[in-house]
Structure 1
Amino acid sequence: QCSVHKPPEQGPQWRRRPGAGGARFPSWSLTTQATDGVIRGDSGPGAAAEEEVRRLCQGFMAPPVSGPQELWRRRRDMRGRMELLIMETQAEVCRALAALDRGAAFAVNTWERKEGGGGISCVLQDGHIFEKAGVNVSVVFGNLSAEAVQQMKSRKTLKDKDGKLPFCAMGVSSVIHPKNPHVPTVHFNYRYFEIEEADGTKQWWFGGGTDLTPTYLNKEDAVHFHKTLKEACDKHDPKLYPKYKKWCDDYFYIKHRGERRGIGGIFFDDLDSPSKEEVFQFVQSCAKAIVPCYIPIVKKHCHDPFTPEEKLWQQLRRGRYVEFNLVYDRGTKFGLATPGSRIESILMSLPLTARWEYMHTPPENSREAEILEVLRNPKDWVH
């Protein structure tokens, strides 16, 4: 199902979701103390709690995958709380992008996976500011394929039954490619996995991160981006940012090029300690840092003049983005190995346009050479 949704600049407006029997859902967000209470799992009992969840669901880009009643039933369960968080994050980011891009409309697709679950894909394409911006939510469950089981086993010791593992995976993921080469691309992903082993034991873990890929280096922007993420991490433990910053630099490494994809940010995976609640609170802080770490940079540069040569360099750098995503990215490989996955959502991260030139080398001491030096030798941006 697909609808076109233009988030409002002021006040509540309404949109109609196809196939929903004429039901309409308001397109503003309810990021309030009550909202946070629902996500924390400490909302009140009975009808009051159910109404809180319903009101929160009204602020999403589309009705949640699990439905308001199921989310209310699971409001104290991590699967329910995480779905609320990723839906709220999707809506918040889409509103911020649309407001910048002269109220541009997102194409909103709701999709179902016959093996279990589904998702909501929101894509803005050929806007005034953004060439392609996608924010995807998925909530899927069922049994992992043999290939996906092997990918999981490479990171965890898991006891499958006849090569199968019942699982639930949910997350919000986004890649935003602006038109202007002076505005960087941003990527974020926050996810939760739950797997049931053959003996009934459940294993769980969180993963995620936010990272920046500029075409040209702007040191002030790099400092702002990393400082904002560091502040989110420091609320929980000052040791987290340096650890996850290095992990990000190592993960987004294009081995065959000897370059990082961008100037990093934070990245973590298989996170299952100190406790489920503490990790969730950390993930929530990181998700809430997305808009403040990126949107001010877009506002600052979206109207900067640029030359055809600068646009060409942007296209060449996007070629590197494609190479990493198709060759190395763990999420892409997991999605392609999971039966019933929606390919359009998995490949949503790819730019609308990219370019490859044979043996292209930028001139010495140029701005193009400057960013290459940072990609080959990551910097500390906050000390």
Structure 2
Amino acid sequence: MRIRMALWVKALQDHIVTTLECIEASHPSSADTPSPKFLRDHWLRPEGGEGSSCVLTGGRVFEKAGVNVSIVHGKLPPGAQKQMRADHASLPVRETPVPFFATGISIVLHPRNPHVPTVHLNYRYFELENPDKPGPGEPPAAWWFGGGTDLTPSYLVPDDVRHFHSTIKAACDKHDGSGGYWKEFKGWCDRYFYIPHRKESRGVGGIFFDDLTTSSEINKGRKASPGPEGPSQEELFSFVKDVSSSFLPSYVPIVLRNKDREWTEEERRWQLLRRGRYVEFNLVYDRGTKFGLMTPGARIESILMSLPEIARWEYMTQMGAEGTPEGELQEVLRNPRNWI
């Protein structure tokens, strides 16, 4: 599974980067000057593993875009084990480092136009080896899939949000016709991407899941899939491939509909304020960021790739008042909706 997941995220990265470069090339100004391309930065991790960070800055459509893949292994120190155990209660915490393997893809796109939403994606596979039975061929002490994708608009376009959710739901329903995956993972997303000190969500949701394995119980005891044994590892891998493949169909039509809309300086100001909230969540609450910063040999540039180039904070800002377009978004962020 290690090799298959690593090959999948690499192929998905290439496909998404190529698609985003085509969108940049479609901008009218590209007729006069070449469109920006992604910087493709392949890196090696001294402690074990490698990755590829593809980052675009200064685009006409995407102000900053990052599409990262990592395939890493090494020793997980006790501090990182404790951080992980907060979300994986069955894991023992040892006083010595434990061998691990992790691979995944992480995407954050910050568009230039305030009418195009920011989007985030992350899908990953993780193994903890049994230090008492090391070596090839030995089953891991634990393994799981995790991830999700979510949308963060500055201005609310309900049809766009419904399209995003319905596309992802269709991918989920291929693997759970009862709608259980969608219902559980949509609710999990609403709870996870919440900013407690602001009492609002980061965006309008999507799906989020973690610790997804053959015997998973998600959301307080409900199984990940019908059946006494739950889904097989192969079925879960197929699910992850399908939901990650739904990313471009869920998001690209929204970009194409809105990227050439006119916008004002006030709308730009609001976009930067919303980016400030994005930064607050990622640096204060995001588990992946905190875990990455605790991992020896972590590549800080890749971990902080999710942050926008420009954000804004205002003391007691007056934007977002009731009855304004900004206030309409605020109402949804404070009271998450079922969009479909």
**Shorter-chain TM-score tier:** 0.7 to 0.9
Moved more, 250-259 or 145-154: 145-154
Aligned to 1:79: 2
Rounded Cα–Cα distance in structure 2 between residues aligned with 1:162 and 1:248: 32
* 1:230-249 paired onto structure 2 within 5 Å: 230-237=169-176, 238-249=179-190
Rounded Cα–Cα distance in structure 2 between residues aligned with 1:262 and 1:240: 20
Deviations 1:147-170 (A, max 9, x none): 111112222333455422110011
Aligned to 2:163: 224
Rounded Cα–Cα distance in structure 1 between residues aligned with 2:335 and 2:93: 41
Residue 371 of structure 1, aligned match among 317, 322, 329: 329
Q: CA deviation at 1:228?
A: 0.1
Rounded Cα–Cα distance in structure 1 between residues aligned with 2:151 and 2:95: 41
Rounded Cα–Cα distance in structure 1 between residues aligned with 2:321 and 2:101: 49
Q: CA deviation at 1:314?
A: 0.1
Aligned to 2:220: none
| Structure 2 SS opposite 1:139 | strand
Instruction: Give the partner amino acid of 1:187.
Output: H
Aligned to 1:52: none
1:126 matched to 2:58? The reply is: yes
Residue 150 of structure 1, aligned match among 82, 85, 94: 82
Rounded Cα–Cα distance in structure 1 between residues aligned with 2:55 and 2:144: 28
Rounded Cα–Cα distance in structure 2 between residues aligned with 1:189 and 1:363: 33
Aligned to 1:59: none
Instruction: Give the partner amino acid of 1:212.
Output: L
Q: CA deviation at 1:364?
A: 2.1
| Structure 2 SS opposite 1:101 | helix
Residue 267 of structure 2, aligned match among 290, 301, 310: 310
Question: Does the aligned pair in 2 maintain the 1:146–1:164 contact within 8 Å?
Answer: yes
Higher RCO (CA-CA < 8 Å; seq separation 6+): 2
Aligned to 1:251: 192
Aligned to 1:74: none
Q: CA deviation at 1:317?
A: 0.2
Aligned to 2:294: 337
Instruction: Give the partner amino acid of 2:187.
Output: K
| Structure 1 SS opposite 2:71 | strand
1:209 matched to 2:148? The reply is: yes
So what's the TM-score if we normalise by structure 1? Answer: 0.78
Question: Does the aligned pair in 1 maintain the 2:36–2:58 contact within 8 Å?
Answer: no
Q: CA deviation at 1:95?
A: 1.0
Number of matched pairs? 305
Residue 292 of structure 1, aligned match among 249, 253, 272: 249
1:99 matched to 2:22? The reply is: yes
Q: 1:156 to 1:275 in 2, by over 3 A?
A: farther
Instruction: Give the partner amino acid of 2:331.
Output: E
Aligned to 2:29: none
Identity %: 56
Deviations 1:1-30 (A, max 9, x none): xxxxxxxxxxxxxxxxxxxxxxxxxxxxxx
Question: Does the aligned pair in 2 maintain the 1:149–1:163 contact within 8 Å?
Answer: no
Rounded Cα–Cα distance in structure 2 between residues aligned with 1:297 and 1:81: 31
Residue 281 of structure 1, aligned match among 224, 238, 242: 238
Rounded Cα–Cα distance in structure 1 between residues aligned with 2:99 and 2:261: 50
Rounded Cα–Cα distance in structure 1 between residues aligned with 2:89 and 2:46: 27
| Structure 1 SS opposite 2:169 | helix
Rounded Cα–Cα distance in structure 2 between residues aligned with 1:145 and 1:181: 41
| Structure 2 SS opposite 1:187 | strand
Rounded Cα–Cα distance in structure 2 between residues aligned with 1:296 and 1:233: 20
| Structure 1 SS opposite 2:50 | strand
| Structure 1 stretches of at least 4 aligned residues deviating more than 6 Å after TM superposition | none
Q: CA deviation at 1:104?
A: 2.8
So what's the TM-score if we normalise by structure 2? Answer: 0.88
Rounded Cα–Cα distance in structure 1 between residues aligned with 2:183 and 2:91: 30
Q: CA deviation at 1:252?
A: 0.1
Rounded Cα–Cα distance in structure 2 between residues aligned with 1:129 and 1:162: 48
Question: Does the aligned pair in 1 maintain the 2:195–2:281 contact within 8 Å?
Answer: yes
Rounded Cα–Cα distance in structure 2 between residues aligned with 1:198 and 1:140: 18
Q: CA deviation at 1:341?
A: 0.9
| Structure 2 SS opposite 1:279 | helix
- Aligned CA-pair RMSD: 1.1
Question: Does the aligned pair in 2 maintain the 1:125–1:132 contact within 8 Å?
Answer: yes
Aligned to 2:218: none
